[in-house]
Amino acid sequence: MTKILKFPENFLWAAATSAYQIEGGWNADGKGESIWDRFSHTPGKVTNGDTGDVVIDHYHRYREDVALMREMGLQAYRFSIAWPRILPQGRRKIEQAGIDFYSRLVDELLAANIIPYATLFHWDLPQALQDEGGWTVRSTAEAFVEYTDVITRALGDRVKNWMTHNEMSVVVFNGYVSGEHAPGIKNDYVSAIRTGHHLLLSHGWAIPIIRQNSPGCEVGPVINANYSPLGSNSKADRMAFNFGDGIWIRWFLDALYGRGYPADLVEQLQVRGLVPVDQWDFIQPGDMDVMSTTTDFVGLNYYFRYISRNNDLPEEENEPQTVHPLPKDNINWTEMGWEVYPDGLRHVLARLYFEYQVPKIYITENGASYSDAPGPDGRIRDDRRIRFLNEHFRAALQAIQMGVPVAGYFVWSLFDNFEWGHGNSQRFGLIWSDYETLQRIWKDSAFWYQNVIRQNGIEEE
Ligand code: FCB
């Protein structure tokens, strides 16, 4: 008989999605335009010109979708709320139909015995606010508080687990440095750092309001932290590491945990002229205290390892003592071009706990893009996804055995969906989405996950 590696009794097995990636109904029932509507409707921005206009029409089919979750045995479900459904212009005028949608979704989940975990901001900022400067201006942080108050008043009696922002670092860098995400601005570090500041600030401002409107709730941010070891011990690589790790991870975690912005990074940004010394007046007295308001948990999105190297230097200068050989084979990469590296999850979990003393961690996203499609018999044999999840679950279990308080696992994603700049071309789902017929088909990994949940563990290999 195969031995089952059991997870702690109250461990939460779950899956995640986000509003823009599955809902469709982009202008239904008074919803306002979001920056992702604007971005995807702009030719050339998204692969194949895909948009979030329909995707899998979850907005109209949520009942069917909750039934699938129940069948799979999900104990919790992480979804996000589209701000422009609630306040189409970002502030003031409330759209009741939008609130009603989430209210029905929550009721449906509770009736199916599935605990709702709601993310307040998963990137679909109302376009009206972007027109006023988006997250680069403080008034957007104030608008976020208004939105949070409205939606948590409406749902706070039933939703008891709240996440503020999803992956602030991605909003900052993909939105304002690489430009791959809405609003699609490139190499603007001043706007990027201002954006991060107002996201962090609004996160802190929102917490007491959420607690007030949702008595007994738990609240936390969702960060993304991938694993980035040093490529070598060369000076160049160490600098690349400090900058990359600093700007993507320490910048946010240090601020959230009361350490302020990392001094070495502030200096780097100034010295390199990315954010000149006279451009820091957006930080007002007290802001850093607000950001480090205590939370109940941190949500961690983990996907891959990236090896920190200074790619601007010639190889000979760059690679005197390579510690991590760069992997070359294909099986170690998902179709996103991300390296499969389960052990990195264990490292990052340990870091959150030992370096920042995070009291409770949910893995709020982890999963893989593989495009395995239905075979002639209709079955979807996504063995690579099963292997990926199995190995990552095991890494999480090892972290738990080290004493790291990992409370649950939200697989990304329940369905194939709109993968931002990649459109529908990248498939992360446990469930296959047929974008023509809107049929949902279980992949082998969905059946496998159902069994993991049932036995609260994975098979020892
Ligand atoms: C994360 C996002 C999520 C999804 C996955 C693949 O960065 O939070 O919406 O796109 O990546």
Q: Which atom of ligand 1 is nearest to the CA of 369?
A: 6
Q: Is 394 helix (H, G, I), strand (E, B) or coil?
A: helix
CA distances from 156 to 34, 150, 216, 218, 386 (A): 24, 10, 10, 11, 36
Using an 8 Å Cβ cutoff, are 202 and 287 in contact? Answer: no
Instruction: List, for residues 189-244, the tens digit of each pLDDT value.
Output: 999 999 999 999 999 999 999 999 999 999 999 999 999 998 888 888 899 999 99
DSSP codes, 326-375 = PP--STTB-TTSPBP-HHHHHHHHHHHHHHH--S-EEEEEE---------
* Full residue range of the structural domain in which residue 57 is found: 4-459
Is 33 annotated in the active site?
Answer: no
* pLDDT exceeds 90 at position 341: yes
Q: H-helix or E-strand containing 457?
A: strand 457-459
Using an 8 Å Cβ cutoff, are 232 and 319 in contact? Answer: yes
Instruction: List, for residues 248-273, the tens digit of each pLDDT value.
Output: 999 999 999 999 999 999 999 999 99
Enter the DSSP assignment of 282: T
Q: 298-301 and 361-366: which strand pairing?
A: parallel
What domain count does the chain have?
Answer: 1
pLDDT of residue 186: 97
* pLDDT exceeds 50 at position 320: no
Instruction: With 0.75 as the threshold, say if the pTM is over it.
Output: yes
pLDDT of residue 309: 81
Using an 8 Å Cβ cutoff, are 438 and 455 in contact? Answer: no
Both tokens assigned to 266: 């502030």
Instruction: List, for residues 347-368, the tens digit of each pLDDT value.
Output: 999 999 999 999 999 999 999 9
Long-range contacts of 150-153 (CB under 8 A, 24+ apart): 150/86, 150/87, 150/94, 150/99, 151/81, 151/86, 151/99, 151/102, 151/120, 152/209, 152/210, 152/213, 152/214, 153/213
Band the pLDDT of 321: cuts 50, 70, 90. Answer: very low
Q: Is 251 helix (H, G, I), strand (E, B) or coil?
A: helix
- What residues are in contact with ligand 1 under a 6 Å CB criterion? 18, 21, 166-167, 170, 224, 301, 365, 412, 419-420, 428
Residues 167, 218, 339, 419: which is the catalytic one?
167
State the Cα–Cα distance between residues 24 and 418, nearest whole angstrom: 10
| pLDDT, greater one: 237 or 79 | 79
For helices 444-455 and 58-72, the axis angle rounded to 10 degrees is: 50
Q: Which atom of ligand 1 is nearest to the CA of 420?
A: 10
Q: Is 126 helix (H, G, I), strand (E, B) or coil?
A: strand
From 419, 422, 424, the mutation candidate for ligand 1 (largest count of ligand atoms within 8 A of CB) is 419
From 169, 412, 413, the mutation candidate for ligand 1 (largest count of ligand atoms within 8 A of CB) is 412
Q: From ligand 1's centre to the CA of 285, what distance in Å?
A: 33
CA distances from 105 to 58, 230, 430 (A): 10, 44, 20
Q: From ligand 1's centre to the CA of 461, what distance in Å?
A: 29
pLDDT of residue 313: 60
pLDDT of residue 131: 98
* pLDDT exceeds 70 at position 311: no
* Mean pLDDT for all residues in the chain: 95
124 forms beta bridges with: none
Q: Helix H segments across 19-161? A: 19-22, 35-40, 58-72, 83-86, 96-111, 127-130, 138-155
Q: What are phi and psi of 75, to 5 degrees?
A: -95, -20
Nearest to 182 by CA among 102, 320, 84: 84
State the Cα–Cα distance between residues 396 and 394, nearest whole angstrom: 5
Q: Which atom of ligand 1 is nearest to the CA of 426?
A: 6
Band the pLDDT of 322: cuts 50, 70, 90. Answer: very low
Long-range contacts of 285-291 (CB under 8 A, 24+ apart): 287/197, 287/201, 288/255, 288/258, 288/260, 288/261, 289/204, 289/258, 290/201, 290/204, 290/205, 291/200, 291/201, 291/203, 291/204, 291/255, 291/256
Q: From ligand 1's centre to the CA of 312, what distance in Å?
A: 28
Residue 64, Cβ neighbours under 10 Å: how many? 12
360: exposed, middle or buried (C-beta count within 10 Å: 0-12, 13-18, 19+)? Answer: middle
State the Cα–Cα distance between residues 346 and 400, nearest whole angstrom: 9
Q: From ligand 1's centre to the CA of 224, what distance in Å?
A: 9
Q: Residue range 386-394: average pLDDT?
A: 98
Q: From ligand 1's centre to the CA of 182, what distance in Å?
A: 14
Q: From ligand 1's centre to the CA of 36, what distance in Å?
A: 14
Query: What is the residue with the minimal CA distance to atom 9 of ligand 1?
Result: 18
Which CATH number fits the domain that encloses residue 445? 3.20.20.80
Query: What is the residue with the minimal CA distance to atom 10 of ligand 1?
Result: 419
Q: From ligand 1's centre to the CA of 209, what distance in Å?
A: 27
Residues 33, 95, 365, 419: which is the catalytic one?
365
Q: From ligand 1's centre to the CA of 235, what distance in Å?
A: 32
State the Cα–Cα distance between residues 295 and 278, nearest whole angstrom: 32
Is 365 annotated in the active site?
Answer: yes
Q: Within 13 Å of residue 346, how many CA atoms lie on the same side as its CB? A: 16
From 363, 365, 418, 427, the mutation candidate for ligand 1 (largest count of ligand atoms within 8 A of CB) is 365
Instruction: List, for residues 287-309, the tens digit of each pLDDT value.
Output: 999 999 999 999 999 999 988 88
* pLDDT exceeds 70 at position 323: no
Using an 8 Å Cβ cutoff, are 18 and 79 in contact? Answer: yes
Q: What are phi and psi of 439, to 5 degrees?
A: -70, 145
Q: From ligand 1's centre to the CA of 318, what distance in Å?
A: 31
